[in-house]
Structure 1
C-alpha cells in the first residue's frame, strides 16, 4: 500500500496529482483538513500512531513531504517491521538545533495569535517557485484553510522530534529522496543527510515538486515503485 502523508500547513488535496496516477491513500492528518481537531502539542509519534491505526498493513510504502516526510520517518522508527520502503520529499532527517527549535515554537505562538493568513502570504513563494501559478493558487488555498491551532500544535511537536538518521541506518529500507532544485527550506545539501538508495532533484521546483512538476515527480515515484 502506498500511503501519502501531507506536509504543513496543507491537507490531503496536496496529493491530488498523485492520487490521479497511483493506487494510494492520503488521509488528512490530525489538526488539518477534515481530521480530528488538535491543540497544544501534537507529537510526531501521535501522527505516526494515527497512521498505524488507519493503515494496519505491513509492506507499506510511505511517501511524505516536508513534515509528512518526518512523520514517515517517525513511523519507520516506531514500526520498522511494517515499512517496505520510504519516499521522502523535501524534508530533513536531522533534529532541530536550539535556534531552529525556538523558531518553531515562536511560529506556533504566532499562528495561534495571528491565524494563518499573514504566514501563508509570507511564505507562498518559498513553498512554490515563481511562475508556478496554478500550484500557488492551490497551496495558498490549503494554507488559508488550515486550522491555526492544529498547525501550531504540529509545529510544537516538530520542535522536539528526534534525529532520524540513526533509525534509518539501523533498519534500512529502499528509500527514494526527492527534492526541488529551488527549495530554500530543505536544499539538496540538506536532504543528502538522509540515507537514500535513490536521489532525484526536480529542476525548477521549490518545496512542493509534486504540485509544481507533477509529471516529473510521478515519473520518479513510478520508477522507484517498479524496483520494489
Structure 2
C-alpha cells in the first residue's frame, strides 16, 4: 500500500483508486480504519471517480506522533491531498471522520469542492462527554480494545444488521478490536476538546449531503436534521434500518444516494471538443 511521511513525522497509509474527477477523500470514524469505506471505494472507483481513503494517524496501518486535536487530523488530510496533487476534492467523513471533515473545511474551505457528513454531529462536547471520553481513553490504554469493542458493537450497528448481516457485523467488530489502543486513546482525548462547528456549517457554500441511519443511537436523526438546517441548500438522506454505519449496513442504498449527489459534480463533456 502507498504511504506518505508528513513533515511532522506521521506515516499515512492510504488507498488511491480510479483516475477521474471529482476526487473523493473519505475519512473513517473511531475506532475504525480505511476498510470502513471499502464498499464506496470499490463502487465509485469502478464508476470512474478517483477515491482516496487514508488510515487516520494512529489507526489501521498509519503511525506517528499522537494527535492532540482534530486539527492534527485535518493537517494530515491536506498533506495527503497536496502529495497527490488534489487542488480540490469532495470531502466525506463519518462520525469522528465527519467532525474531522468539519475541521478541515473550517481551516481550508478553498480545498473542498463538496461535503459529505455521515452520522456525525457539530456541537462541542459536554462536560460529561469530556469526562466519559477521557475515562474511555484511560481504559483502552490499560485494558486494550476487545471489551471496549464488545460494548460498542450493539450501538454501532442496528439490530437488523446484527440479525441479518453477520459479515458486516464481524467486520465492524474486527476493526474496533484491532485498533491500536494508543491511537484510539489519543483521538478520544482530541474529540473531548473539539470546538463547536455550527458556525462553520452556517458558512459552508459548497454542495453538501447529510446522511444518517434511522436507527443510529450515537448520532440520531435529529443531529442530521440540525446539520441540514445549518448548511444552506444541503440534502438530507435517512437510511432506513441502518445504525451508525449505513455505508456498510445499507451499502447499496448509501452508494445510490451518494452517487446521485456526486453525478452533477462530474465535468461536463466539451461539445466543441467532440465536434473537432
> What TM-score, normalized by structure 1, do the two folds share?
0.96
For 1:38 and 1:104, the matched residues in 2 are separated by 20
For 1:227 and 1:6, the matched residues in 2 are separated by 24
Aligned positions of 1:152-167 closer than 5 A: 152-167=185-200
Match of 1:99 among 128, 141, 153: 128
Q: Secondary structure at the match of 2:116?
A: strand
Aligned partners of 1:178 and 1:201 also within 8 Å: yes
For 1:69 and 1:55, the matched residues in 2 are separated by 17
Structure 1 17/198 Cα, relative in aligned 2: closer, same or farther at 3 Å?
A: same
Q: Secondary structure at the match of 1:25?
A: strand
For 1:47 and 1:85, the matched residues in 2 are separated by 19
For 2:65 and 2:174, the matched residues in 1 are separated by 20
Equivalent position of 1:206 in the other structure: 243
RMSD (CA atoms): 1.2
Question: Which structure's relative contact order is higher, taking Cα pairs within 8 Å and 6+ residues apart?
Answer: 1
Structure 1 74/177 Cα, relative in aligned 2: closer, same or farther at 3 Å?
A: same
Q: Secondary structure at the match of 2:29?
A: coil
> What TM-score, normalized by structure 2, do the two folds share?
0.80
| 1:4 equivalent in alignment to 2:10 | no
Q: Give the deviation of 1:127 after TM superposition.
A: 0.6
> Cα deviations across residues 77-109 of structure 1 (Å, max 9, x unaligned)?
100011111100000011111111211111111
Q: Give the deviation of 1:60 after TM superposition.
A: 1.2
Q: Give the deviation of 1:37 after TM superposition.
A: 4.1
Q: Which runs of 5+ in 1 are unaligned?
A: none
For 1:33 and 1:108, the matched residues in 2 are separated by 17
Q: Give the deviation of 1:38 after TM superposition.
A: 4.6
Moved over 6 A (4+): none
Please identify, of 169-178 and 85-94, the stretch whose mean Cα deviation from structure 2 is larger: 169-178
Equivalent position of 1:35 in the other structure: 62
> Cα deviations across residues 111-153 of structure 1 (Å, max 9, x unaligned)?
1111100110011121111223211100111111100010000
Q: Which has the higher strand share?
A: 2
Q: How many matched pairs?
A: 227
